[in-house]
Amino acid sequence: MRAETGLAGCATFVTAPRSMTAFRDFQGRAFLHSYDWTTNTDFATLELILTAPVVVASWISLHDHETGLAPAAFGGGDKLIHNVVGGIGVLQGNGGTLCPGLPWQAVDDGNGPMHTPLRLSVMIEAPQEAIVGVLRKHGGLRDLFDNGWLHLFALNGGRIAARYRPGLIWDATNRESALAA
């Protein structure tokens, strides 16, 4: 009934060497992707990570966000009585309003919500110029960050070095990330 609840509650997507996350307890709230930019000088792997796993994580996070935020408008209702319609939504039983979102069971474990609506924070251990290079090449990906659907942070040594702002701009920060704690 609730197989998809393992994805509910994710707050961050971390792309960094595994050694930075190996001994951290993210309590099931992080998508972790092991990546060492120093072995990827052309940044093709970084581009692949940003355009595939990060995009899929954004779908998961945004579905959870909308379903948890306004289940009547964006949710899919009770999955026990779902009838899939044309791959674009579901009906409750044999009629009614087309529901576009996730079933309630994807964000609620029966005792209460498992997901607090929030925007996914993507944290990447790589040079800011390389990250911007990928965003320049992929407008749809860039739109996720420029339009505020996701937050983007550059890591340096496991600490947040900068926060991405719309327009391919970085704001330096001295705040430590959860990875450095």
Instruction: Return d(Cα 162, Cα 128) in angstroms, integer.
Output: 8
Q: What's the Cα-to-Cα distance from 2 to each of 6, 30, 84, 102, 165, rounded to whole Å?
A: 8, 19, 18, 12, 36
**Identity of residue 86:** G
Tokens of 61: 């996070």
From 145, 144, 179, select the one nearest 163 (Cα to Cα): 145
Q: What pLDDT, in 10s, does the model give residues 92-106?
A: 888 888 888 778 777
Query: String of b and e for 34-56 (b: at least 16 CB within 10 Å)?
Result: ebebeebeebebbbebbeeebee
pLDDT in tens, the chain (181 residues): 455 556 667 889 999 999 999 888 888 889 999 999 999 989 999 999 999 999 999 988 887 777 777 878 887 888 888 888 887 888 888 888 888 877 877 777 778 777 777 899 999 999 999 999 999 999 999 999 999 999 999 999 999 999 999 999 999 875 544 454 4
N residues, the chain: 181
H/E segment holding residue 60: helix 53-69
Locate the domains of the chain by residue range. 3-75+110-172
Average pLDDT, the chain: 86
The residue assigned the tokens 């995009």 is 55
Q: Which residue pairs from 110-117 have beta carbons closer than 8 angstroms and sit at least 24 positions apart in sequence?
A: 110/2, 113/68, 114/5, 114/8, 114/9, 115/8, 115/9, 115/64, 115/65, 115/67, 115/68, 116/9, 116/68, 117/64, 117/65, 117/66, 117/68, 117/69
- Specify the 3-state DSSP secondary structure of 153: strand
| Pair type for strands 30-34 and 82-85 | unpaired
Instruction: Return d(Cα 79, Cα 6) in angstroms, integer.
Output: 17
From 80, 70, 81, 72, select the one nearest 99 (Cα to Cα): 72
Q: What pLDDT is recorded for position 69?
A: 77
